[in-house]
Chains A and B, each alone.
Chain A
Amino acid sequence: MAKFNYLITCAGWEDRFLDGLKSNIKSHDFTKIIVLRVNEFTENTKANLSKLRELLSDDGFQEIEIFLLDDAKTWKILDALFSDLAISNKSLCIDITTMPRFLIWFVMHFSEYYKNNTAYVYFQPERYEKCEWLTSDTEEPRLVFKHSGIFLPDQPTVLIIQTGFDIERVNQLIYSYEPNKVYLGAQVGEQFNNAIENLRKHKEHLQYQEIEYFEIDAFKGDYGYASMERIILDNKNTHNIIVSSFGPKPASLAMFKLNQEYPEIGLSYVLVKNYNDCYSHGTDVENVISIGLNDL
């Protein structure tokens, strides 16, 4: 049983939020639990949060309200949280399972800035449901504060995107950044084969952008670090590089690490206001993915 000063997690509506929390508590010893709650998802997370209160009582955790749309406000709240509680040089366990990607990157920023020793955990669902749609109500793509890259206006742009099921999100990034090339990382195995088979369809959908596919394994190994690093090295002296993730979340940790290594690359995300809450079921608590940034 590992000992951590803090567990930081984010309230979600999926089974994975509570199951993951229970599993974390069972496996580790935490001095304090911090639950981030997204204001815009208050209604969606209400039921799971009541169950959490039954489980831990109000004193068992600290709830922090953060904001999806006003991400600058969220940044300042997190900054204050880390400095007020002196979360510095501590051991942290950050459960990224139900965190929106921008929040993963924000929390990682402060965790690193305040020199904490952090383990990131991720729970896969037992199964995914095939849905007609996954997300809707989106905002324009945004670059992550402080990890927005170093760009030159006289260079063309390439996008490196870890794809998920939402091809529209990819389209949105292309529309905004007008890259001259897109590298699409698809999960190894069946999904990758499907992506290649659907190349023509994707090309039509993505307005005939120059697309190159690469394999990424977001669930093990280096979570895509090396394959993305190769593309970065090929392009970093000639192109502005923007990296974004729509697939399994562990790859976003690899992206953060790549940004630390190569500050020229910018991390980008698309805020989503509406998720299809049926898309995942159950929690695979037997195969928890636990990652330290130094392992990558």
Chain B
Amino acid sequence: MNPFVFSGASNLTNEQILTLFIHDHNYSRFIQSKRNFFFWGERGAGKTMTLLYNKLVMQNDVKDSISNNSPIKYIPVYVSCITPLVFKREYLLLGSEFQASVVSEHYLALSMALALIDALIEIPEILKLIDQAELRLELNYLLDSELPDADNVLKSIKLFLRRQFIQTQQKINSPESDSFYQDTYTFSSLLMPLMDIFRSMKMMHDLHFIFMMDDAHDLNSSQRGALNSWIAYRDNSSFSFKVSAAKVSDYSLATTSGGAILHGHDYISINMEQDFQNFDSAYGKMAKKIISKRLELAGFPKDFDSSCFFPVSESLDKDITKCKEKARILAIEKYGNNDSKKINDFVYKYGRAIYFRERSSKANRVQYSGLETIIHLSSGVIRSLLEPCYVMYDDMISETGSLNKIDKIKPSIQADVIKRLSDRFWERLRHGVDKELPDCSVKQAEQVSYLFHALADLFRNRLLDPDCSEPRAIAFTISAKTDEIMSELQPILNLARSAQLLYVRSGTAKDGGAKEDYYVPNRMLWPARGLDPVGQHARVSIQASKLVGAMHTGKIEYTPQCVSMSPSGNTIQADMFNG
């Protein structure tokens, strides 16, 4: 099996989750609390894996509590919001919005109840604490129905809930346009009494249900409103919500009553995407651990250095080392021999830039390779880290014809895969992202494409300009924003984000130290354009109007920069984009 398999976490077994998860980045402190949390992150950022891992850990804690005869604190309830049920739209045929929202909430409440019962069934030891006859009696009364027979009462409830799903859909799918299911459930009529019943049992009086609502951005607007209303419920003693969602621009925090949930008050936000600049960043360390863990599963020793599995091309390594040395000599000429910090900064900024700058235009493509490069190419998204590794491993198997012979991925294969995957991004832009994104017009797709071509040219011009003070910057901030300009620019940026061509990060602004959003194009774009995906700790400030211009022309004017040396040796650079 390819150790870098990167299918969704929900397709992994419990054992695989426990084995593959990197424990140092578990968010357990937040998930195992009684507060409501939102975990924001793009697809592939590890949201599902984090929730599922914590679910398993908490389930084991429950088992321990039962065996130690101590009270159970938490029951984790994992609710996947991406089921085909959320795509059902018959409610649109109903005359009233109220009926539509009632049916939507009914589906969600049933899904959560089923997930709650599944969570209990997954801990068979819990049956020891339950008086099944009494519970059956109470549930028959609550649900106004005789529970079907099954091995145990939990399975009976499960059968009842599944039957509810089927009956609701049969009724709603009946051919009459306005068919409506009357016997609907809500959070208050189903979930809360259900939780109360379990909390009345021995060892469960202080029980807290943790509802892990995964991919909540897929809920429809009525369901999202309902969920927000439950989050706004102030008493968190018996339940809380840990919501994972992609931070899409239209994620509404409105409740059904017309209010909105407030950060800090009703919930706490956790951003699961972290930017990174180097191997030693938190993300860089985690990425290395992920690769090592996967290699361990493939039979490599535990302490195996994953960098050895993805060696850098010898010629690339040699050439970059030479260029760094060149930069060091230049730095010493400028700053003298004693200021090692300035010299190191200069080498960091210009060493790799010199390599890219001095390459002959007739030279072959850069042999992009090495674990550090792969990590940078992932743009901080785990799935994007595993994908190239998966393809490289697959290609290596094709070349060697045997699994046993793979002790490393040849740099030439790494470079070829990186080239293919990078080309694919530009191919997507050439074909138009309207082909893959809903609600994107041909014109908007063209504007997205123009924008990225302009950014590529801008970053390349900067990289090749010996006077540019931040030549390897491949992130940007937007300045001189006005409502009018942003109303044109923002939809294009949003589409680029949906296509995972662009990521938004939050960082400290230069002026005043306040937080500001900055934009990082997917780094996998750059190898096809001969750029350095490793980047540097810097952002280019671009006026919003220039970006709008780029959307229409595919160009951002670049004026070579004037970098002069101050008497202290600091570089002074005119910020052309801020005028």
CB <8 Å contact, A146 and B434: no
CA distance A180 to B11 in the complex (A): 7
Quick one: which of B10, B11, B84, B436 contacts A149, CB cutoff 8 A? B84
Query: Which A residues are in CB contact (< 8 Å) with B7?
Result: 180, 208-210
Query: Which B residues are in CB contact (< 8 Å) with A209?
Result: 7
With an 8 A cutoff between CB atoms, is A164 at the interface? Answer: no
Q: How many residues of B contact A (CB 8 A)?
A: 48
CB <8 Å contact, B177 and A76: yes
CA distance A28 to B291 in the complex (A): 68
Which of A113, A135, A168, A210 has the most CB atoms of chain B within a 10 A radius of its CB? Answer: A168
Q: Which of A199-221 contact B (CB under 8 A)?
A: 204, 207-210
Given contacts A136-B435, A172-B438, contact A153 B115 (CB under 8 A): yes
Given contacts A133-B432, A151-B85, contact A208 B6 (CB under 8 A): yes
Query: Which A residues are in CB contact (< 8 Å) with B111?
Result: 153
CA distance A190 to B527 in the complex (A): 36
CB distance from A178 to the nearest CB of B (A): 5
CB distance from B103 to the nearest CB of A (A): 12
CA distance A79 to B7 in the complex (A): 43
Secondary structure at the B interface, as helix, strand, loop or mixed, is: helix
Given contacts A168-B435, A263-B173, contact A177 B84 (CB under 8 A): yes
With an 8 A cutoff between CB atoms, is B93 at the interface? Answer: yes
CA distance A133 to B432 in the complex (A): 10
With an 8 A cutoff between CB atoms, is A139 at the interface? Answer: yes
CB distance from A1 to the nearest CB of B (A): 33
With an 8 A cutoff between CB atoms, is A20 at the interface? Answer: no
Quick one: which of B6, B93, B387, B435 contacts A135, CB cutoff 8 A? B435
Query: Which A residues are in CB contact (< 8 Å) with B177?
Result: 75-76, 79, 145-146
CB <8 Å contact, A142 and B87: yes
CA distance A135 to B434 in the complex (A): 9
CB <8 Å contact, B438 and A138: yes
Q: Which of B170-216 contact A (CB under 8 A)?
A: 170, 173-175, 177
CB <8 Å contact, B84 and A137: no
Query: Which A residues are in CB contact (< 8 Å) with B440?
Result: 137-138
| B442: nearest chain-A partner, CB-CB | A136
CA distance A156 to B10 in the complex (A): 9
* One of B52-60, B161-169, B297-305, B567-575 contacting the partner: B161-169
Q: Which of A178-212 contact B (CB under 8 A)?
A: 178, 180, 204, 207-210
Query: Which B residues are in CB contact (< 8 Å) with A148?
Result: 87-90, 169, 173
With an 8 A cutoff between CB atoms, is B336 at the interface? Answer: no
Query: Which A residues are in CB contact (< 8 Å) with B80?
Result: 153
CB <8 Å contact, B89 and A141: no
CB distance from B294 to the nearest CB of A (A): 15
Chain A interface residue count: which class?
Answer: 35 or more
With an 8 A cutoff between CB atoms, is B82 at the interface? Answer: yes
Query: Which A residues are in CB contact (< 8 Å) with B432?
Result: 133, 136
CB distance from A155 to the nearest CB of B (A): 8
Chain B 426-448, CB within 8 Å of chain A: the 1/0 string?
00000110111111111001000
CA distance A109 to B84 in the complex (A): 21
CB distance from A241 to the nearest CB of B (A): 9
Chain A 108-147, CB within 8 Å of chain B: the 1/0 string?
0100010000000000000000001101111111110111
CB distance from B426 to the nearest CB of A (A): 14
CA distance A117 to B431 in the complex (A): 44
With an 8 A cutoff between CB atoms, is A157 at the interface? Answer: yes
CB <8 Å contact, B434 and A138: yes
Query: Which B residues are in CB contact (< 8 Å) with A207?
Result: 387
Given contacts A136-B434, A137-B434, contact A151 B83 (CB under 8 A): yes
Query: Which B residues are in CB contact (< 8 Å) with A136?
Result: 432, 434-435, 441-442, 445
Query: Which A residues are in CB contact (< 8 Å) with B169?
Result: 148-151
CA distance A284 to B90 in the complex (A): 38
CB distance from A61 to the nearest CB of B (A): 26
| A274: nearest chain-B partner, CB-CB | B442
Which of B80, B84, B93, B434 has the most CB atoms of chain A within a 10 A radius of its CB? Answer: B84
Quick one: which of A138, A147, A152 contacts B162, CB cutoff 8 A? A152
Given contacts A146-B175, A148-B89, A208-B7, contact A140 B431 (CB under 8 A): no
5 tightest A-B CB contacts, nearest first: A168-B435, A140-B438, A72-B92, A153-B111, A153-B83
- Selected A-B contacts with CB under 8 Å, 30 pairs: A72-B89, A133-B435, A136-B434, A136-B435, A136-B445, A139-B438, A139-B439, A140-B439, A141-B438, A142-B89, A145-B90, A145-B92, A148-B90, A148-B169, A151-B165, A152-B114, A153-B80, A153-B85, A153-B114, A153-B165, A154-B114, A154-B115, A166-B435, A177-B82, A177-B87, A178-B8, A178-B10, A204-B391, A208-B387, A210-B7
**A residues with CB within 8 A of B:** 72, 75-76, 79, 109, 113, 132-133, 135-143, 145-154, 156-157, 166, 168, 171-172, 175-178, 180, 204, 207-210, 240, 242, 263, 266, 268, 273-274
Given contact pairs A149-B84, A151-B83, A204-B424, a sample of 17 additional A-B residue pairs in the complex whose CB atoms are under 8 Å apart: A76-B177, A135-B435, A136-B445, A137-B434, A137-B442, A140-B438, A143-B89, A145-B177, A146-B173, A149-B169, A152-B166, A153-B115, A153-B165, A176-B87, A180-B11, A207-B387, A210-B7
